[in-house]
Chain A
Amino acid sequence: MIKEEVIKRINKVFEKDFEIDLKRLKPDAQIFNDLGLDSLDIVDLVVALQKEFSVTIRDDARVRNIRTLNDIYDFILLLGEERKKENIKE
């Protein structure tokens, strides 16, 4: 996946599901403090990302380390890389 495409799709999730204006979606924005999400929103963010990118991340411990929007971009890109490697192995 191209990074720009991943950013666009993730930002779309924030705009549609959490009604946050695209202008506020800076890469270094803190998800809790700057964007105003809470723990229940994170459950829904995981559901939305799973649907958008066809991934399973609910039980992935790395989700707990996410703090900023950029962390999400990087995490989804990393999942893409991991999936690519898995496919090559197979």
Chain B
Amino acid sequence: MSLKRVVITGIGAVSPLGSDSLEMSQGLEASLSAVQYMEGWDTYKGLRCLVAAPAKAKDEHLIPRQSRRSMGSMSIYSVQAAQEALNDSALPTEILKTGRVGCIIGSTMGGAKSINDVYENMASQRDLTQLTSMKFFQCMSHTAALNVSQYLGINGVVMATSAACASGLQAIGTAYDLIRLGSQDVILCGGAEELHPTVTASFDILFATSTKYNDRPQLTPRPFDANRDGLVCGEGAGIIVIESYEHAMARSAKIHAEIIGYQTCASGLHISQSSKEALASSMRGALAAAQINSKDIDYINAHATATLQGDKEEADAIREIFGDKVPVSSLKGYMGHTLGASGGLELIASLFMMRSGRIYPTKNLENVADDCQGIWHVQKPLKRPLNFILKNAFALGGINASIVLKRLSQ
């Protein structure tokens, strides 16, 4: 059986930089930081990171109440991003109900605010009578996927990948595999996440958040920098439409890029620490699947969240495979770490770079840390043809994912 080729034909983004993909690209071009001080977060005892990157979504009331009632903010971002991606793809809406179109959206967990609301009621008052029928739909791990599929009437494969910060890239990789195998013709896929003090707290407890820049939010996070001190949480949704190459060609679709390789793997070593060997294995696996060599890659969009340990391991892994021959940048300095959404949002940003031939530098990278040396850090905008891009996403649990994108001339 021959595997099908898979192409990206639509993109949609709700991000800290704006309510659609155009606003995100404009924010990146202008080198804006969406990180801000979060009013009220200082009331949480023990929370040291008081900055974050909230999403800028469109008015949620544009979604009818009966569709919106089951949506927390993560699902609202997902629906808005999916609608943009669908519009961009120009897919005929009748195809959504054929069973040949799927929806796979990953996130770390269900809606953080709704989960918190439920437990505030249940734990402090042991009271179920105030819980509405919709809370559980907002709390479920597949809340984004189910809400998008219900809203758009998609009746093919609907599922959610959940591997913390690799969730979004795993969703795209899983969708890629399903289309390659011929199980689906088209899949809306990507990642989503919503911001909440409890989400930042989960990293803060592990000493993984940025805590020294609460009075200067725009200077953090600082991937690969000597003065990096941890990650900053963000939120949003990055959704793409992917389909088989034949399907796209048959309808004369506009093609953003082809996905030619995907790998996901775990370290099996440590629950929170990244492993150079596992990160390298993920990248090597994606290159092998794409049937290209490391020297073919024109740019690496790093995961690099600005944690002390994670950035070092990723730099080590990149150096081992690519040396200092391939430009590398991280986008966390612009939008924070959008966690489950980051795979989708940053892959879309990588498509902008591929289209323009202009690499966004690592924002806030002023002095490369000693432990991140030896790779080609992009510290100012860099023009070059980008025919092959490698996108990484790494997660707690030692879980890694990498995808290779190829530019197609049309």
Contacts and interface: CB of A to CB of B under 8 A. Distances in A.
A55 B152 CA distance: 38
A18 B65 contact: yes
Nearest to A44: B132
Contact of B129 (A19, A36, A50): A50
A41 B64 CA distance: 14
A63 to B, nearest CB: 14
Interface residues of B, number: 10
B131 A40 contact: no
A36 B65 CA distance: 11
Contacts of B133: 40-41, 43-44, 47
Nearest to A51: B130
Interface in A22-60: 36, 38, 40-41, 43-44, 47, 50-51, 56, 58
B134 interface: yes
B69 to A, nearest CB: 8
B134 A40 contact: yes
A40 B137 CA distance: 12
Contact of B132 (A19, A36, A47, A56): A47
A43 B69 CA distance: 13
Contact of B66 (A38, A43, A58): A38
B65 A47 contact: no
A56 B129 CA distance: 9
B286 to A, nearest CB: 43
A40 B134 CA distance: 8
Interface residues of A, number: 13
Contact of A47 (B61, B69, B130): B130
Q: Main SS of chain A's interface residues?
A: helix
Contacts of B61: 19
A47 B66 contact: no
B134 A44 contact: yes
A47 B134 contact: no
A44 B132 CA distance: 5
Contacts of B130: 47, 50-51
B134 A36 contact: no
Nearest to A48: B132
A76 B132 CA distance: 20
B134 A19 contact: no
Nearest to A17: B132
A48 B180 CA distance: 49
Contacts of B69: 40-41, 44
Contacts of A50: 129-130
A58 B129 contact: yes
Nearest to A40: B133
A30 to B, nearest CB: 16
Contacts of A38: 66
Interface of B: 61, 65-66, 69, 129-134
5 contacts: A19-B65, A36-B66, A41-B133, A44-B134, A47-B132
